Amino acid sequence: MEHDVKFISAIGGNPADATHPFLTKKKVFYATLISTDIMPDRPYLIGGGDVTPRIDMLRPLYHKINNPELKRWAVTSQDDTIGLTCQAWEVGAAMAEGWDIVYDKHFSGETEDFAPVVTAILATKPDVVSLNLTYPTYVTLIIEQLYLQGFKGIISANYIDTESVMQKVPIEYMADRKCANSFPLFDDPWWGEPSWQHEFIKEWNTKYGPGAPGDVHRKITGIDWDHVIMLKVWAHGAQLAGSFDPDEILKALRAAPSIPTILGPGVMYGKDMWGIDNMVSPPIPIAEVKADCKCKRIQAHLKFEQWFESRKDMIIKVVKEKGQYFDQRK
Amino acid sequence: MLKHKVLSIIGVVALIAVMSVLPFFVREYYVEILIIFLINIILAVSYRLIATTGDWTLCHVILMGAGAYASALMAKYFGWPFWMTAPLAGATVGLVGLGIVYPMLRTVGFGFFITSLAVGEFIRLSWIKFHNPFGGPRGMINIPEVGIIGSIDFYEAIPYYFMTLVITLVCLLILYRIDRSRIGKAFKSIYEDSVLAESIGINVGRYRSFAFVIGSFFAGIAGALLAHRLGAIDPHIFGLDEMVYLLVWVIVGGSTTFAGPIIGVAVMTILFEWTRPLMEWRPLFFGVILIGFLIFMPGGLESLVPKFTRLFGNRKASQARAEEPAGAKKSVV
Amino acid sequence: MELTTFVQTIANSVISGSIYATVAVGLALAFGVMQMANHAHGEFFMLGAYVVYVFYALGGMPFPLAVLMAIPTIAALGLLTERLIFRPTRGNVLAGFMATAGLTWILQVLAGRIWGLGFMKMIPTPYMGSATIAGAQIGLQRILIVPAAVILLGLLWFFLHRVRLGKGLRACAQDPDAAALQGISINKMTALAMGIAGAYAGVAGALMAPIHAVTPYMGRDLLITAFIIVIVGGMASIEGAVLAAFILGFIHTFVTTIFDATSAVMVGVAFMAFILIVKPTGLMGRVKA
């Protein structure tokens, strides 16, 4: 209010809930990282830069293709907005791909000691342990427990920060477990050279890398670019529309056949998921951890829309049963 | 004495006048701050009432949260309007207070403090655990706002502000009367010397409960005001940090006089907004302020008032104050 | 519950209880000696973890040495807290508690400013790998907590019961006036108590650094648990605190495994309320809470 803001880039979740009536009234764009914030009564709330929960739906597909003989899928995440909704979508997708869901619970955000949680998961003898969109801190601690308690299957999640986990777990273990996740590195050879992605990384390192003026004393993580992607989309929309008017921008974005994003060309999508096409949907890269480079490398780049169209009825049915569909949140 | 009283009344009237015109001279953002400010005043003064018996609790903010949840649930699922949900929320929280005070009465002083913390946490965690009906970690959204009554749209800040102002004044009046009554004196006598109080027939346990329930009632009202303004409640805004902020207001302002907590809320709200640009450092400043006051000015800012009036005021007024029994000046902390 | 799960949970509980005990004894000791209620105890724990972060993760010192570094560092912090906060507020428990609440904020902000916020600090696990004990697989890093706690608690017991200075502490806790008459300096005792409290909380934090998420706020939840333990144990009783620590460790771990962590904390609180109603002096205390 004080600064006449036009565009807010935020993480979303509970603050999005609290602020939306006000922001909608004032016609301010609110770009959230959490796609589940998107709702029909929030016309200016856009999301999708963060690939949740599309990636969580594509991972069961990915693993089924690579390991058709496996059957038992365990999934967990923290019990907050993100965890509850995204896990529902993942479970729906996994069931649609023929997986048996053997563990589908949430752990409390207050959890400090993950040993009991992992013990409970392993008691169900899963082939795949998926962490959905568990926050990075918890991911590290859970994977540590999986390692210590001797899990030998596949580990899969929305985001795994290789650096952090390596502190607690040998890289060989991570590579053997695949540790599939999205949030790729932008100097990954997959993108090709030259590429927008490689340029982006070079630019980032110039500004924030070692020795740079804004040195942040760490390598670029998988999530540093999360906010950038939405800003670019908005800017592109403003360019197309030729104005800052939010309704014009949305119209322009929805009409565009493809919108350039750092993950590839995307479209505005999401009516079946959120009730309104306010989600930017680029193709989703899936990476696995490799021991040779001690990092993750993209293995596949999947387009979401067609696959979703073929499975959506079953998936939405499951999400509704869990009470997590957009119109069920009262 | 009479002059003192007249001056006080003039002061209060002037203050109310200022509060009534203020919203028209500031930006909308600050009106929202003022609404929260008034809610916090109800919270702080009701807290102080409980503290006059010597019981300092760590669950008061959570009781406000209970009021917020209660009124939200009533408004959403029964469709009751605000003028019903608010007092009912107060009553509900009063009952909750009655329920939880029993194990707490088994403890005194510091033990009481921690027990209230644990019990409060229990309540807060139950909001997080039980998605039905509390909404779990996501809290509740789409709480019906006060809506339009007649031709006034209470969604707008200024009408809501005036409604809150009226409610606050009513609450303060009631709390003031209680504080000044025999009941209020009984509360203070428990703090002074509970054994003595018991010996002259004051059932200490019953009065402690009474203070706690009354304080809880008003915390509930504050919660209802909050819930209907925000339209959404998040269980994490009623945590220990917020409780310690409440303590800061009461310690900085002082808890011996009725006005002390009000001064504390006012001063700290201003500081809070001022330090917004330095947000990451803010808790540190408040920590320093808290420590500073506890060690160097345990009486709080209110203890400066007599010194102030002695300097500038009328000799008779300060003389009259000096004649008040010394015990009344003892800081509750 | 399957047998392997059960055994695993028992193992988890013992480790949990060991950490709780190491943290809680310092709190109980400080409280016993002149009623010093340290709200910043969780931050002592946190800073102990940061000591290991600085010396071991950043500085390359061997892990055991880094842990030992936490002892003098946080003990010094304890001494400072006693001198600057508890001594001026002596006689007023609430004031001391609230002032250390202020200290909590100060320490949290400082830790955040100095070492940055964000997700947990990266601390390489010094002893990766796990051992299988009676069917349960436990990380080596966690296993070593148990003997460490045993040694620390044993040392404390020895100090309090066999060493003159320690006996003075107990005397001061039982009856400060009598102790003063005997020539024991109260100031010396309070300083000593807070020094030990700091050292123990710091070491616990240091041991947990590779296991826990290291952030400026890692001490928050521990604080409430620690105070619940002290109350259940019997305000000033060290033995009570140790017993209560293990009981609560078991409760928390089992309930978390079967249900979830939120329920575990709630059950812990309910247990405390139960003890207070049945025996307000706590398990082994003599002073009413």
Structural domains present in chain A: 54-176+286-321 (3.40.50.2300)
**A174 compared with A27, residue with greater pLDDT:** A174
Q: Using CA atoms, how far apart are residues B287 and B285, in angstroms rounded to an integer? A: 5
Contacts of residue A253, defined as CB under 8 A and 6 or more positions apart, other chains included, come to: A233, A236, A237, A240, A259, A268, A280
pLDDT, residue C120, reads: 74
The strands making up A72-78's β-sheet, listed across from edge to edge, are A100-107, A72-78, A128-130, A154-156
pLDDT, residue B316, reads: 47
Displacement of CA A72 from its chain's centroid (Å): 22
Listed as ranges, residues in chain C with pLDDT below 70 are 1, 119, 286-289
Q: Using CA atoms, how far apart are residues B187 and B192, in angstroms rounded to an integer? A: 9
pLDDT, residue A12, reads: 65
Residues of C in contact with B109 (CB under 8 A): 93-94
Please check whether residue B263 is in contact with residue B269, taking contact to mean a CB–CB distance below 8 angstroms. no
Provide the pLDDT confidence category of residue A209 given band limits of 50, 70 and 90: low
Please check whether residue C73 is in contact with residue C50, taking contact to mean a CB–CB distance below 8 angstroms. no
Strands (E), A152-230: 154-156
Cis check: omega of the bond before B133, within 30 degrees of 0? yes
| Mean pLDDT for the stretch of residues B287-309 | 81
* DSSP three-state, residue A330: coil
pTM score, whole prediction:
0.83
Residues of B in contact with C224 (CB under 8 A): 117-118, 121, 240
Cis check: omega of the bond before A210, within 30 degrees of 0? no
Contacts of residue C164, defined as CB under 8 A and 6 or more positions apart, other chains included, come to: none
Put residue A294 in one of left, alpha, beta given phi > 0 → left and psi -120 to 50 → alpha.
Answer: left
**CB atoms < 10 A from the CB of C33, how many?**
29
Contacts of residue B155, defined as CB under 8 A and 6 or more positions apart, other chains included, come to: B145, B146, B147, B148
The helix (run of H) or strand (run of E) holding residue A188 is none
Asked if A1 and B29 come within 8 Å (Cβ–Cβ), the reply is yes
Inter-chain Cβ pairs, chain B and chain C, closer than 8 A:
121
Q: How far is CA B262 from CA A157, A265, B215, in A?
A: 51, 57, 15
Q: Using CA atoms, how far apart are residues B140 and B227, in angstroms rounded to an integer? A: 9
Question: In chain C, which among 224-263 make CB contacts under 8 A with chain A?
Answer: 252-254, 256-258, 260-263
Contacts of residue A198, defined as CB under 8 A and 6 or more positions apart, other chains included, come to: A186, A187, A191, A192
Q: Using CA atoms, how far apart are residues B65 and B71, in angstroms rounded to an integer? A: 10
The helix (run of H) or strand (run of E) holding residue C260 is none
| Mean pLDDT for the stretch of residues A7-24 | 70
Q: Which residues pair with C136 in a beta bridge?
A: C133
- pLDDT value at A176 more than 70: yes
pLDDT, residue C80, reads: 94
Domain count, chain B: 1
Task: Tally the C-alpha atoms within 13 A of residue A287's C-alpha that lie toward its C-beta.
Answer: 27
pLDDT, residue B323, reads: 44
**CB atoms < 10 A from the CB of A76, how many?**
23
Q: Using CA atoms, how far apart are residues C8 and B232, in angstroms rounded to an integer? A: 42
| Nearest CA among C202, C219, C208 for reference residue C80 | C202
Provide the pLDDT confidence category of residue B321 given band limits of 50, 70 and 90: very low
Asked if C16 and A113 come within 8 Å (Cβ–Cβ), the reply is yes
Residues of C in contact with B287 (CB under 8 A): 101-106, 109
pLDDT, residue B307, reads: 66
**DSSP string computed for C201-245:** HHHHHHHHTTTS---TTTTHHHHHHHHHHHHHH-TT-HHHHHHHH
Put residue B234 in one of left, alpha, beta given phi > 0 → left and psi -120 to 50 → alpha.
Answer: beta
Q: How far is CA B244 from CA B47, B253, B286, in A?
A: 12, 14, 10
Selecting from A108, A116, A168 the residue whose C-beta is nearest the C-beta of C262 gives A108
- The string of pLDDT tens digits covering residues A266-305 is 888 888 887 788 888 888 888 898 888 888 888 888 888 8
Asked if A117 and C257 come within 8 Å (Cβ–Cβ), the reply is yes
Provide the pLDDT confidence category of residue A116 given band limits of 50, 70 and 90: confident
Q: Using CA atoms, how far apart are residues A94 and A104, in angstroms rounded to an integer? A: 11
DSSP code for A211: T
Put residue C232 in one of left, alpha, beta given phi > 0 → left and psi -120 to 50 → alpha.
Answer: alpha
Q: How far is CA C139 from CA A176, A250, C62, C162, C211, in A?
A: 19, 52, 19, 35, 10
**B243 compared with A6, residue with greater pLDDT:** B243
Asked if C94 and B56 come within 8 Å (Cβ–Cβ), the reply is yes
Asked if C125 and A150 come within 8 Å (Cβ–Cβ), the reply is no
**A326 compared with B293, residue with greater pLDDT:** B293
DSSP code for C121: P
Please check whether residue B203 is in contact with residue B190, taking contact to mean a CB–CB distance below 8 angstroms. no
| Mean pLDDT for the stretch of residues A155-166 | 88
Please check whether residue C280 is in contact with residue C260, taking contact to mean a CB–CB distance below 8 angstroms. no
Q: Using CA atoms, how far apart are residues C184 and C102, in angstroms rounded to an integer? A: 31
Q: Pairing between strand A264-269 and A279-281?
A: antiparallel
| Nearest CA among C209, C174, C186 for reference residue C74 | C209
B253: domain range? 27-329
Asked if C101 and B128 come within 8 Å (Cβ–Cβ), the reply is no
**CB atoms < 10 A from the CB of C80, how many?**
15
**Residue owning tokens 């791909």:** A97
The helix (run of H) or strand (run of E) holding residue A107 is strand A100-107
Please check whether residue A258 is in contact with residue A265, taking contact to mean a CB–CB distance below 8 angstroms. yes
Amino acid at A322: K
Determine the Cα angle at C46 with ends C43 and C49, to 5°.
Answer: 155
**A58 compared with C120, residue with greater pLDDT:** A58
Q: Using CA atoms, how far apart are residues C280 and C287, in angstroms rounded to an integer? A: 9
Amino acid at C130: S
| Nearest CA among B106, B119, B103 for reference residue C266 | B119
Q: Using CA atoms, how far apart are residues C19 and A173, in angstroms rounded to an integer? A: 28
* DSSP three-state, residue B230: helix
Residue B2: φ, ψ to 5°: -65, -40
**Residue owning tokens 């002059």:** B3
Provide the pLDDT confidence category of residue A218 given band limits of 50, 70 and 90: low
Determine the Cα angle at C182 with ends C177 and C185, to 5°.
Answer: 75
Best of A148, A161, A216, A218 to disrupt the C interface (most C CBs within 10 Å) is A148
**What tokens appear for C164 in the block?**
């003159």
Asked if C103 and B119 come within 8 Å (Cβ–Cβ), the reply is no
Best of B53, B102, B110 to disrupt the C interface (most C CBs within 10 Å) is B110
Q: Using CA atoms, how far apart are residues B62 and A198, in angstroms rounded to an integer? A: 50
Selecting from C227, C260, C269 the residue whose C-beta is nearest the C-beta of B122 gives C269
Residue B164: φ, ψ to 5°: -60, -40
User: Chains that contact B by 3+ CB pairs under 8 Å?
Assistant: A, C
Output the average pLDDT for chain A.
Answer: 81
Residues of A in contact with C210 (CB under 8 A): 168
- The string of pLDDT tens digits covering residues C167-197 is 888 888 878 788 888 888 888 889 999 999 9
Residues of B in contact with A21 (CB under 8 A): 231
Selecting from B76, B125, B138 the residue whose C-beta is nearest the C-beta of A81 gives B138
Residue A185: φ, ψ to 5°: -90, 145
CATH code of the domain covering residue B218: 1.10.3470
Q: Using CA atoms, how far apart are residues B142 and A42, in angstroms rounded to an integer? A: 13
Which positions in chain C have a beta carbon within 8 angstroms of at least one beta carbon in chain B?
Answer: 35, 37, 85, 88-89, 92-95, 97-99, 101-106, 108-110, 112-113, 220, 224, 227-228, 231, 235, 260, 262-263, 265-266, 269-270, 272-273, 276-277, 280, 288-289
* DSSP three-state, residue B145: coil
Please name the residue of chain C whose CA is at the shortest distance from the CA of residue A119: C5
Q: Using CA atoms, how far apart are residues A181 and B151, in angstroms rounded to an integer? A: 55
- The string of pLDDT tens digits covering residues B134-187 is 877 777 877 777 777 777 777 778 888 888 899 999 999 999 999 999 888 888
| Nearest CA among A282, A257, A277, A268 for reference residue A184 | A282
Amino acid at A127: D
* DSSP three-state, residue A3: coil
Asked if C94 and B126 come within 8 Å (Cβ–Cβ), the reply is no
| Nearest CA among C133, C145, C122, C158 for reference residue C64 | C145
Residue C99: φ, ψ to 5°: -65, -40
Range name among A207-216, A229-238, B250-259 with the lowest pLDDT average: A207-216
Give ipTM to 2 decimals. 0.85
B293 in a structural domain: yes
Span between the terminal Cα atoms of chain C, in Å? 37
**CB atoms < 10 A from the CB of A217, how many?**
8
Torsion of CA B241, B247, B249, B250, to 10 degrees: 170
Asked if B142 and A79 come within 8 Å (Cβ–Cβ), the reply is no
- The string of pLDDT tens digits covering residues A307-328 is 888 888 888 888 888 888 877 7
Please check whether residue C207 is in contact with residue C67, taking contact to mean a CB–CB distance below 8 angstroms. yes
